[in-house]
Copies of this chain bind each other. A is one copy, B any other.
Amino acid sequence: MSSETQARRIVLAARPQGEPKNTDFRLEGFAVPAPGPGQVLLKTRFLSLDPYMRGRMNDSKSYAPSVALNDPMVGEVVAEVVDSQLDGFARGEHVLAHLGWVSHGLSDGKGLRKIDADQAPLQSYLGVLGMPGFTAYAGLREIGKPRAGETVVVAAASGPVGSLVGQLAQRAGARAVGIAGGARKCQFVKDVLGFDAVLDHRAEDFPAALAAACPDGIDVYFENVGGAVWQAVFPLLNPFGRVPVCGLIADYNGSPALPDGISVPALMRGILTRSLSIRGFINYDLDTLFPDFLAEVGAGVRDGSVLHREDIVDGLENAPQAFIGLLKGSNFGKLLVKVAD
């Protein structure tokens, strides 16, 4: 039995127009529920904050349903089993669960995945060894397919997807060019992660700098930001270029008008004349690759050859502000909320 009686959750208080505000979220208390037969009580240790959550705050069709008003925000957590009336789950075990922005929750075991704290730090199962890492791995392996000597470009390069994209591209013998926001992140991408080149998308002359950093053009662009970066990348894509699309964070708060942007006919003409391939995916489209991912990237994390960075915020009550910052690129590394020790 858990000794705690008071749980907390963060619910969607209002649907944001453009950038979310603190008042779009509400922190609520509720009684820690008791598990019935066939249930476990989970206590959240870490909550993952990810850009896709912005889409769930809208009342529009997407690949997943919206969060209803006054319902808890959705999200993946690392949790500890604190009470179990379900065979196969014992108190003290750790699991990955889609529990949401909550401190405690019940589960019937469906969709839970046990994780091993001895193999890697618990929170890494939400980052480099979790959904973001797998997104990088699966998108490159299935769609990007970098080859030796090619140029691979990725934005948000200090983040959990981008940082792994660049490192995996280099393992395939390709040149990794990262894009990040601000000098600190750029320095990390170049000096710590070891990308071949890095560019600051906030620089005045970003499109020209990108072209200069890719003298042989771009063969793979791993799209996770959209917006002005995509506009700068598109003209540089080589014939037979591949564009896995896993996110468009720049557009999530609404699409600002882009001056001198490419048009849809120009985009289609480029796709035709350069035999480009553009494919959207979400990680679970490709989940048959998950065991390969865990083996390959897990080994790299354990032996230190795969680097990653985490940005851990303390306390569930700080999740809204951290999430608002995430959409502006304020985080530095995989953004996590430590909900309980």
Contact = CB atoms under 8 A, between A and B. Distances in A.
B264 A267 contact: yes
A246 interface: yes
Contacts of A270: 280
Contact of A248 (B55, B269, B278, B282): B269
A272 interface: yes
B272 A246 contact: yes
Interface in A261-280: 261-280
Nearest to A252: B269
A274 B285 CA distance: 11
Contacts of A276: 279-280
A255 interface: yes
Contact of A226 (B247, B261, B265, B275): B265
Most-contacted residue by chain B among A227, A258, A264 (CB, 10 A): A264
A275 B282 contact: yes
Given A62-B273, A245-B271, A264 B263 contact: yes
Contacts of A268: 223, 226, 230, 245, 248, 251
Nearest to A275: B280
Nearest to A266: B255
Number of copies: 2
A239 interface: yes
Nearest to A279: B277
Given A239-B63, A262-B264, A251 B269 contact: yes
Contacts of A281: 275
Interface string A74-107: 0000000000000000000000000000000000
Most-contacted residue by chain B among A223, A246, A255, A279 (CB, 10 A): A279
A60 to B, nearest CB: 9
A274 B278 CA distance: 12
10 contacts: A55-B273, A63-B274, A230-B268, A245-B268, A245-B271, A248-B272, A251-B269, A255-B266, A264-B264, A264-B267
Given A55-B273, A63-B275, A278-B279, 10 more contacts: A63-B239, A63-B274, A245-B271, A246-B272, A251-B268, A255-B263, A267-B267, A275-B279, A275-B282, A278-B278
Interface of A: 55, 61-63, 223, 226-227, 230-231, 239-240, 245-248, 251, 255, 258, 261-282, 285
